[in-house]
Structure 1
C-alpha cells in the first residue's frame, strides 16, 4: 500500500508534537539528575549520622529536622519582633515569613536591574555624564554589600527599606558595569548592517543594541540572585522585620540546630524556585535566543 504524503498543514503539527516530546524527555532527565544529586547528598548526611560521625544535636540529619515540620513552624511568627509568639496559625506565620523575605528580594532586584541598566546606558551615550559618574561607580563596586548595612540603617532606619536597599546595592554596581561592558561588546557588524539598511539611531538602539545586550544582562541578574538572598538574610538578621533571616538568628540565639537547618532548607528551596521563575521569564523575554543558549534546568 502506497503511503500518502503529509499535507502542508500537517507538517507544523508533527514538528510541534516532536518538540513537545523532546522537551518532555529532557525535563524527565533533568528531574532525574536533580533527585539523584539531592538524594546522594542527603544519603551521605544520613550515613554520617548512622555511623556516629555527625552529632544529631549539632548536625541533625534531614529525617530529624524535616520530620517535625509542624513543630518547626511554631517558631515562625508574622510579628516584626523576634521571638514574639504570633496569634496566627504556625503555617500562616511560616508563609508570611517566606513572603516577606521574597518581596524584599523582588523589590530590590527590580529596582537594581532597572536603575543599573539605565545608568549603564546613560554612561555610554552621554559622555560628560559618564566621565563624572563612572570613576565613582568603579570605586564603589568592590565594596561588599554587607559593608553597606550600617549605611542602610543610618539612612532608612529599621524596617523594609534597608533590606531592599541592601539587595539593590548588591546588584547595582555589578549590573551597571556589566551593561557598559556589553554595550562595548556589541559587534560593529550589526551596527553597520543596520545603518546600511537605513536604521535611525533610535532604531539601532531598540532593535540592535538592546537585543544584543539583554542575554548577558539576564545571566548577570541570575548570577546575582543568590547574592541578593544572602544580603537580605543578613539585613533581616539585624532586625528589619519578620523574615527568614530573623528565624536564622532566633535559631542561633537559642542554639536550635534543627530549626537552623530547617530554615536553611526553606531558603534553598525558595531560592531554587526564584531561579526557576527567572529562567522562565528569561525564556519568554529572549524569544529570539535558542533554548540551549538561554539555559535550562
Structure 2
C-alpha cells in the first residue's frame, strides 16, 4: 500500500471546536467565573445589611436606642457563647434536670436550628405535593372541583393560629403539630395559586396540542404542568417565608426544642439580646433557604431567562 493510500485511511485529527467544552475548562476556571458572577450580588448584599446595621449602631451611639430594650448588633451578635447557652431548651425546661447538662451550647444551637429547618422543609414539601396534586385534580375533574374548591376557598382566609388548638387536639405535642401547622398554613393558598396558574396557561399551547391529537391526560402532563412550573416555584418561594413565620408559633406548643421555644424563653426572661439574636439567625436561615430554592429553580427551569427588573435599562 502506498503512502497516499495509507494517508487516505488515516482519520483526520479532531478540530479544536469539536472538543467538548467541559473537557477544555478546568474546575478552577469555572469556580473563578462563578465567583466573578456572584461577587456583585454578594457585595451589594453586604452593603445593604451593613447599612441597616450601621443606622442601628448610630442610633445607639447617639442615645436614641435604649441598649436595654434595643441592643445594637455588636452586643447581641458579639456574645455568641452567652446566647448559645440558652438554646438547650429541652433540658432547661425538664423537671429535675440540671440546665447545665446535655449538649454543649454550640451543639444545642445546631440541634435547635436543624430541628426548626427540618419542620419548615418537611411541611413545605408535604404542602407543595398535596397542593399541586389537588390543584391539578380540581381543573382535571369537574366533579372534584365542585366538591372541593368552595371548601378550600372558605378555609383559605382562616389564620394559621386558629388551627393551633386543632393541631394539639389531633397530634398532641412534638414535631407532628408543628409540621401540621406549616402544611395547613400553606396548603389552601398554594391550591388556589395552582388553579390560577393553570387558568393562566396560554390557550394557543393547548389548541396546538389538541390539533396534534393529544389526549386530555397528555395535555396536562406535557403542556399544562410544564407551563405552570415557573409560577409554581415562585409561589413555593413566597410560601417558604410563610412557613418560617408559622413554625415559630407552632414551636411554642411544647415541641421540646426549636427557635420558637428559644424566643418564648427570651420573652419570659425579658432578654432582648436573645430575641434579636434569634431574629438575626432566623433572617439568615430564611435568606439561605431562599437562595437554595433559587438555585433549584435555576437548575429545573434552565430554559427560563433570569429576570433582573423590567425598568432597569430605562
TM-score, length-scaled by structure 2: 0.85
Matched, 1:50 2:61: yes
- Shift of the 274–41 alpha-carbon distance from structure 1 to 2, 3 Å rule, reads same
Q: State the Cα RMSD in Å.
A: 2.5
Change (3 A) 1:93 1:24: closer
Residue in structure 2 matched with residue 202 of structure 1 by the alignment? 217
Q: Deviations 1:194-246 (Å, cap 9, x if unpaired)?
A: 22233333332222111111111111111111111111001112322210000
* 1:40 paired residue among 36, 51, 66: 51
Structure 1: distance between partners of 2:283 and 2:204: 43
2:202 to 178, 182, 187: 187
The CA deviation string for residues 1-27 of structure 1, in whole angstroms up to 9 with x for no partner, is xxxxx95437967x9899987754441
- Pairing partner for 2:265 from 246, 250, 273: 250
1:76-225 equivalences in 2 (<5 Å): 76-77=87-88, 79=90, 82=93, 85=99, 86-225=101-240
Rounded Cα–Cα distance in structure 1 between residues aligned with 2:185 and 2:291 = 20
Number of equivalenced pairs: 288
> Contact between 1:82 and 1:239, CA under 8 Å: does it hold in 2?
no
Counterpart of 1:271 in structure 2 is: 286
**Is there any run of 5+ residues in structure 1 with no aligned partner, and where?**
1-5
Distance in 2 of aligned mates of 1:50 and 1:293: 37
1:3 maps to: none
Task: Tell me: CA distance 1:280–1:171, structure 2 relative to 1, closer, same or farther (3 Å).
Answer: same
Comparing 282-291 with 53-62, which one deviates more in the overlay? 282-291
4+ long deviations beyond 6 Å: 15-22
Confirm whether residue 286 of structure 1 aligns to residue 301 of structure 2.
yes
Give the secondary-structure state (helix, strand or coil) at the position aligned to 1:292: coil
CA 1:195/1:19 → structure 2, altered by over 3 Å: closer, same or farther? farther
Larger Rg: 2
Checking the alignment, whether the CA contact within 8 Å between 1:104 and 1:164 is kept in structure 2 is: yes
Structure 2 unaligned segments of length 5 or more: list them. Answer: 1-14, 310-314
